Structure 1
Amino acid sequence: MSYSSDVKNELARLEGQKPCCEKAELVGVLRMSGALVLRGKHIGIHFSTENAALARRVLQVLKTNYQVQTEVVITRSRRLKKNNRYQVEVLPDSRVAEALRELQILPSEEAAKSKLLGRACCRKAFLRGVFMAGGSVSRPSGDYHMEIVTENEELARLILKIMNGFSLSARMTDRKNDFIVYLKDGDHIIDFLSIIGAHQSLLEFENVRIVKEMRNNVNRQVNCETANLNKVIRASVLQVACIRFLQSHGGYDLLPQKLKETAELRMQHPDISLNDLVEFTDGSVGKSGLNHRLKKIQQIAVIKGMDISEYV
């Protein structure tokens, strides 16, 4: 089961919601994935999903808040996974139109005066509904990404406005005939999960993210130390090669005494860094001075005809 499914299953099983929040959540679900069915003079509702928990949730909210007749039809998907598909049908009736007006899905003067999403708790419930019906979030072990996809540009802009009202810094883009509201920042995805009430999924996301960031930090540190070690080794190999070149080409004995002392020190300790090499001096020269002397030896070797390209 995907992480998105885990989040949606948790959300679909939330209890203790206020009636206003249940209705706001239902608005989000129906505006994302619901369809109106016209039979004669009456209107019905059709909602379809592969998530059994979400189907039960929609059915429960409808029965709790409205006197409507419902049916549930289970079909087998024709896609490769062949999952069950749950179709919630609200049979056409005059009471359905009243419910749709209250939910502001059908226009009415009373609905225009009400503020279904006026409260922060209801706006959170609305986001919960749209996510359950058309959202997805990637596992925190991979790239951070959460998106809500709809064909309705007006609805996408409403979702964007509400999310940014909670300081989530959501963005919107379009893909073919769809409009996508998305988050890419891990902190904002965690905030979004908290807002919609997915607290168990939030803890899982945070735990995986902490382990992931610790692993990344360790890898960065190891890579940095490895790079520094390789740099030390390359410098030491070049310095030893320059000294040996001078010894074999008659230039070593002509070196000034200080350079010769540094060369002998390097040949005695060919595998250590400059920081460690300084500890073997008599204290008369520091790291900078030691580095200057070794650079000077390298320059003399190049003047004598040494090709250092293979060491660089």
Structure 2
Amino acid sequence: MATIEFLKQELAGLPSTDPLLELSGALYGGSSLVLRHGGALSISFTSKSPFIMRYVLSLSSRALANWQPRQALLSRAGHKLSFSVDLTPVQAQQLFSGLNPLEPAQLERRLRGKRAAAAFTRGFFLISGYAAVQGTHLEFSCSLPVGRRLVERSLTSLRMTHGSQIRRASEITYLKSRQDIMSLLAAWGASNSLVSLEELQLEREMDNQVNRSVNAELGNLQRETRAVDELRAAFDRTDRTCLSPRTIEVVQARLRYPDLPLSKLADKIPGCISKSTIHYHIAKVLQNAR
């Protein structure tokens, strides 16, 4: 798959299917959420990417009632951008479907739908998601247990197997199935990243097939080499006066052409001879040597 920056830039540039739910996901993926007097709400998060901040601002202006640009404060914190949003009580209720964003029962019910779940996780991932380039791991990270619960509710609605853990005080929800990750990219509409991951999977499958073929050939070669070495040692130890001229002829041909299959080796031996007869003469020498 392409880099995480490429994936997030693609997601931020896609048309929004549900701006309100995408914005809800983005804000639950933020670094802090503070409920203020009268139902007002302050939310903040950080990102290295200006296009993600523009994405959140665009969602806010489209989805929230009476949105004013001054409600958002953008500043720099080291190599990252710090972004704070102050929501009015009306906007908070509109966004979180209730007065308390820490108990979003109505939002959880909405996330039972696949389209709602896809929109929510898309916004959440843009703020605090990570994906391995190999497409073997994708995760959502947040500071609040309620955020993890909402992501898990969404992934369950999308019928994706997921796990969770706490890592350095962060709530982590992750996918490890490449097929689930591809399905999630498809649900988000991230076609370019999906094609990139499909190409990577095809490349890995071809590499695995080639490796299996090479390993099989190497194994066959090693077995053939051991068999010829064993036959040569047995032939050297055997009293050849006890062997028939035909047996000596067959064994010498085998030692002279160790890499030939028996069907081809028969062409190197005078007269008409079958594979089973070649086996018989070789086995006779090995048995005599023992």
| Cα drift, residue 88 of structure 1 | 2.7
| Cα drift, residue 213 of structure 1 | 1.9
Higher relative contact order (CA 8 A, sep 6+): 2
Q: % of aligned pairs identical? A: 25
TM-score, normalised by the number of residues in structure 1:
0.78
Q: Which amino acid letter does the alignment assign opposite residue 130 of structure 1?
A: F
**Distance in 2 separating the partners of 1:153 and 1:204:** 33
| Cα drift, residue 28 of structure 1 | 0.9
Summarize the Cα distance change of 1:112–1:171 in structure 2 as closer, same or farther, 3 Å threshold. closer
1:58 to 56, 70, 74: 56
Summarize the Cα distance change of 1:158–1:144 in structure 2 as closer, same or farther, 3 Å threshold. same
Other structure's SS at 2:260 match: coil
Summarize the Cα distance change of 1:130–1:87 in structure 2 as closer, same or farther, 3 Å threshold. same
Question: Does the CA contact (< 8 Å) of 1:49 and 1:87 recur in 2?
Answer: yes
Q: Stretches of 4+ moved more than 6 A in 1? A: none
| Cα drift, residue 283 of structure 1 | 4.7
| Cα drift, residue 116 of structure 1 | 4.1
Q: Which residue of 1 aligns with 2:161?
A: 169
Summarize the Cα distance change of 1:156–1:276 in structure 2 as closer, same or farther, 3 Å threshold. farther
Q: Which residue of 2 aligns with 1:286?
A: 275
1:204 to 196, 203, 218: 196
2:236 to 223, 241, 244: 244
1:136 to 130, 135, 139: 130
Q: Which residue of 1 aligns with 2:23?
A: 26
Q: Which residue of 2 aligns with 1:44?
A: 42
Query: Deviations along 1:32-56, whole A, 9 cap, x unmatched?
Result: 2153456765543333222211111
| Cα drift, residue 194 of structure 1 | 0.8
Structure 2: tracts of 5 or more residues without a match: none
| Cα drift, residue 62 of structure 1 | 0.9
Count of aligned positions: 280
When structure 1 is superposed on structure 2, of 174-183 and 124-133 the one drifting more is 174-183
TM-score, normalised by the number of residues in structure 2:
0.83
Within-5 A mapping of 1:88-167: 88-91=83-86, 96-104=88-96, 107=99, 116-117=110-111, 119-140=113-134, 144-167=136-159
Summarize the Cα distance change of 1:283–1:170 in structure 2 as closer, same or farther, 3 Å threshold. farther
Q: Which amino acid letter does the alignment assign opposite residue 28 of structure 2?
A: R
Structure 1: tracts of 5 or more residues without a match: 78-82, 303-312
